[in-house]
Amino acid sequence: MARQYFGTDGIRGTVGQAPITPDFVLRLAHAVGRVLKRTDSRPTVLIGKDTRISGYMLESALESGFNSAGVDVVLLGPLPTPGVAYLTRAQRASLGVVISASHNPFDDNGIKFFSAQGTKLPDVWESDVEAALADDPVWVDSANLGKARRLDDAAGRYIEFCKSTFANNLTLKGLRIVVDGAHGAAYHIAPKVFHELGAEVVPIGCSPDGLNINRDVGATHPQALVAAVKAHRADLGVALDGDADRLQLVDAKGTLFNGDELLYLMVDDRLRRGETVPGVVGTLMTNMAVELALKARGVAFVRAKVGDRYVLEELEKRQWLLGGEGSGHLLALDKHTTGDGLISALQVLQTVVRSGKSLSELLCDITLFPQTLINIRLKPGQDWQASPDLESTIRAVEAELGQTGRVLIRASGTEPLVRVMVEARDAEQARACAQRIANTISL
């Protein structure tokens, strides 16, 4: 059945508007609880959140919904999305729940779920939940209501897990690192991880007030990180997004590196150490220069649909370990079950420490093809594919680019946007072609 509520990354929207309302979230938790009880007579669910002010409201709604279905709840407080995935597995819980809208502004929020193994759940599970939402609730009697408790050391446990993925014989001593927490879920965790591994840490974006998450900081606004690295004469800068599952890095020169380049460096580190990397999964958006560089080193490359869940599905199907997106969602499945900005940063920093080279030096042989990405906000009910000139414009652009570029148009899975991307060897050509296509959609 077609899913009504679930997008590519859970359920997301503007707070106070359907479906991100407390009454719906309570019903959602109740429905999820009933689905869980089909295979587990007394499920336990972990709930973590980012720093949005709406998290308090949604957390209590989830707690009530689960308890009403006879499901026990463990509250983790503010914790990165991958931290919830880790603790769900470590605590042998039935399900992990994250209250977050990731990189979106504070007035959005969302709910996403992890399996008992700390992995994204399949589409069929989401369809089962939506079917249960259509049924009348079945409240358990008082004797069978779920209970709630708080795990007070959730942050500390996750910090130790992150550190365990960094080689024991390496240290970050001697490095000054600017750490940008996006005023989000890692504000109290990310600086400690790097500090406890030996770095001198300069924190920015680590003072959340419930309203400032992702505002002019973090992985989606890396200009703040670039400025801070230069101002503090730091060796490196690390920027996370609101729920800390994506990453951007900056070197001492203020050069910004995206997920495509960082994915290549994760592969490079393993190849330098004599490990076999049979293949890597990127997405339709992955830069062609990285694809060519990987293939030149004998590493197979496959493109998945945009979205870390699709990268994960492709990795699992092929039994590969490394994949990611240019946005900074990176996967190292021998380190964690899901994308983790902190762990990905540590994997890249291992390369820097081992080689004694800067990020710029490590990537000197890769020149990314220019990409132009235009986001077009849709009007309510707008059918963007109905544009009479869209198909002919795309054909004309593809003919112009030939073998030196490509076009990708897709609808966002989390926002009412259409994303137009054109990649070409010439930056001006990419910009002009993307604008031509965008103009036909926004008429």
In tens, the pLDDT along 268-312 reads 999 999 999 999 999 998 998 999 899 999 999 999 998 888 999
Residue 243, amino acid: D
Catalytic residues: 102
Class (C level, CATH) for 371-441: alpha beta
Question: Residue 145: its pLDDT value, please?
Answer: 98
Query: Cα separation of 343 and 245, whole Å?
Result: 9
Residue 64 binned pLDDT confidence (cut-offs 50, 70, 90): very high
Q: Which of 90-99, 399-408, 427-436 comes out lowest in average pLDDT?
A: 399-408
Which tens digit of pLDDT belongs to each residue from 175-200? 999 999 999 999 999 999 999 999 99
Helix/strand number for the chain, H first, E second: 14, 18
Q: Which H/E stretch holds residue 388? A: none
Query: Cα separation of 12 and 102, whole Å?
Result: 10
Cβ atoms within 10 Å of 334's Cβ, excluding its own: 8
The closest of 203, 206, 208 to 179, measured between CA atoms, is: 203
Domains 257-362 and 371-441 share a fold: no
Ramachandran angles phi, psi of 420, nearest 5° = -110, 120
Query: Cα separation of 101 and 112, whole Å?
Result: 9
The closest of 343, 351, 325 to 410, measured between CA atoms, is: 325
3-state secondary structure (DSSP) of residue 377: strand
> Where in the chain are the domains?
11-152, 157-255, 257-362, 371-441
CATH code for the part of the protein at 11-152:
3.40.120.10
Class (C level, CATH) for 257-362: alpha beta
Query: Cα separation of 118 and 290, whole Å?
Result: 29
Query: Cα separation of 149 and 142, whole Å?
Result: 18
What share of the chain has pLDDT > 90, as a percent? 88
CATH topology of domain 157-255: Alpha-D-Glucose-1,6-Bisphosphate; Chain A, domain 3 (3.40.120)
Peptide bond into 19 cis (omega under 30): yes
Query: Cα separation of 21 and 18, whole Å?
Result: 6
- Kindly give, in sequence order, each residue whose CB lies less than 8 Å from that of residue 235, ignoring residues fewer than 6 positions away: 175, 176, 177, 251, 252
